[in-house]
Structure formats: C-alpha cells, structure tokens
C-alpha cells in the first residue's frame, strides 16, 4: 500500500506527496547554502584583489581561496590565481558522496525528497554516462590532502610577525580564523567516505594484511568522523568562505586585524 502511494506520488508530478513533514526544508537550505557559496566564491575568484596582507604591517595572511598563490604574469587579467587552483577543492566537493545526494535533490529535484513526486517520472538511471566523472572523487581526495598541508603552512606564516627588523611569534584574529578554517577542512577531509575505504574499508580481514592493526585503528577513527560528515561538510564550507571574507576585509582596510599575542 505504502509502495503504491509512493509510486502514485512519483507519477503525479513534481512535489506531489502524502508527506506532512517539512520535507522541502532540506533541499531548500541546500539550494540556498550551496548556491550562495558558489556565487560568492565565483565573485571572489574573479575579484582578484584584496586576498592577502603582507609584512611589514602584519604577518603574511593569505585567503584560502588564493592558496597556493600561483602568479603567472602572461595570463589575461581575469584569470586570477584563485581560478588556477579552485577547481581542485571545488571538484572534491562536487564529487563528495554527501553533496551529491544533497544537490541532486536541491537542484535537479529528481526527486526532491523520498516519496515526493518528480518532474520527469520515475526513470532513475544512476550515476551513468555524464555522471561517471563522479568516480574521480578519490583523486580529488589526494589533491585535497595536499591542500591541507599548504593551508597549514599558511597558518604558520600567519604566526610570524615583523619586529624591529627581525621576526617574532604572534597570533591575531586572522591567525585564528585561518587555523579554524584548516581544522574544519581537515575534519571534513578525514571524514571522507573514500578515505575510509582507502585506510581500511576495503579490507576484509585486518589480521591478514600488512599493518592490519594500524589500519584498523585508522579505519575506526575515520569512521567516527564519517558519522558526522554532513556536519563537517557544511561547517567547513561556511568557514572557508568566512576566512576569505575576513582576509578581504582586512586587506582592503575596512577592518583591522586584532593582534592577541
Ligand atoms: S565523501 Fe564527502 S568528501 Fe569524500
């Protein structure tokens, strides 16, 4: 009976459902959150200015959208250093197992939620043909791990302040913002389904493989983080946008970066 109702809803057109809960809230929040991020990130990637502050006024603080900073003077001005690198973290998020579910529902409405009618009828074909590119996720994961190292080095630079012709250790709000950003990105990356598979999920018998104990420990810890992958996905997304916004504000002189230590 329930299955018949589900099929009837699906045949009945977009949004038709027997559900009485707020099923549309999740797809709507995803559309607003992801859509807003894409608009902001595109604008900032094309903006191509106010993405860093440099000594002697401050430590070296670089926006995560522009890190690593690759400057190729022979490129046209609209090709900013951000455009040269953002495809890698962007591809990592685009092919993320969690985001796939979320944006298929929010943007393709195919279907918008469980037991809710879809526009094109029930002809789900899975991730075939054009969607085979989603299999690249594990390769984007390798790139994301490299980005974590680079962003961590940026935090170290943000702790080196100029002092009397030399250098000294210091921490500002900007340092904390960059530190929080790389921490959340690390939690997001280390909760990845592909990483879980890589460190131990593909092993049938841990005592039968080399470094089985180590792999079991890694797999257990990644599994713990993996339970909250959606949470890390959203918090790290908002934090990376905020970190860029913060650097934009201090680089343009609208805010002053408060030194704490
Ligand atoms: S599954 Fe989401 S980052 Fe890998």
pLDDT one-digit tens code per residue, 92-111: 999 999 999 999 999 999 88
Question: CA-to-CA distance for 170 and 160, rounded, in angstroms?
Answer: 6
Q: Is the CB of 100 under 6 A from ligand 1?
A: no
Atom of ligand 1 nearest to the CA of 195: 4
Strand partners, 17: 116
Which residues of the chain carry a pLDDT beneath 50?
1
Is the separation of the CB atoms in 107 and 31 below 8 Å?
yes
Q: Is the CB of 98 under 6 A from ligand 1?
A: yes
pLDDT one-digit tens code per residue, 195-245: 999 999 999 999 999 999 999 999 999 999 999 999 999 999 999 999 999
Mutational pocket test of ligand 1: of 139, 199, 229, 232, the residue with most ligand atoms within 8 Å of the beta carbon: 229
**Closest C-alpha among 189, 187, 179 to residue 154:** 179
Q: Structure pTM?
A: 0.93
Place of tokens 């250790």: 169
Strand partners, 259: 172
> Which pLDDT score, from 0 to 100, does residue 126 have?
79
> Which pLDDT score, from 0 to 100, does residue 20 have?
92
> Which pLDDT score, from 0 to 100, does residue 14 have?
87
Atom of ligand 1 nearest to the CA of 193: 1
Q: Is the CB of 193 under 6 A from ligand 1?
A: yes
């Amino acid at each position: 009976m329930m299955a018949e109702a589900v099929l009837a809803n699906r045949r009945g057109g977009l949004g038709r459902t027997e559900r009485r809960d707020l099923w549309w809230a999740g797809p709507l929040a995803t559309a607003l959150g992801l859509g807003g991020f894409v608009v902001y990130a595109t604008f900032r990637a094309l903006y191509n200015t106010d993405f860093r502050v440099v000594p002697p006024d401050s430590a070296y603080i670089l926006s995560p959208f522009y890190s690593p900073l690759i400057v190729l003077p022979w490129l046209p001005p609209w090709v900013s250093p951000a455009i040269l690198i953002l495809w890698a973290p962007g591809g990592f998020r685009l092919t993320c197992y969690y985001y796939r579910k979320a944006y298929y529902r929010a943007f393709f409405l195919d279907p918008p939620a469980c037991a809710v009618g879809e526009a094109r009828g029930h002809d789900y074909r899975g991730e075939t043909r054009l969607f085979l590119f989603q299999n690249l996720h594990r390769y984007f994961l390798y790139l994301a791990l490299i980005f974590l190292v680079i962003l961590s080095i940026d935090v170290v630079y943000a702790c080196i302040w100029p002092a009397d012709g030399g250098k000294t250790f210091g921490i500002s709000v900007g340092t904390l913002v960059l530190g929080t950003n790389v921490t959340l990105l690390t939690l997001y990356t280390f909760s990845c389904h592909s990483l879980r598979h890589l460190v131990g999920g593909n092993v049938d018998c841990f005592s039968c493989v080399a470094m089985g104990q180590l792999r079991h420990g890694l797999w257990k810890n990644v599994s713990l983080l993996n339970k909250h992958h959606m949470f890390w996905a959203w918090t790290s997304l908002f934090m990376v946008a905020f970190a860029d916004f913060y650097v934009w504000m201090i680089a343009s002189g609208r805010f002053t970066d408060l030194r704490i230590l």
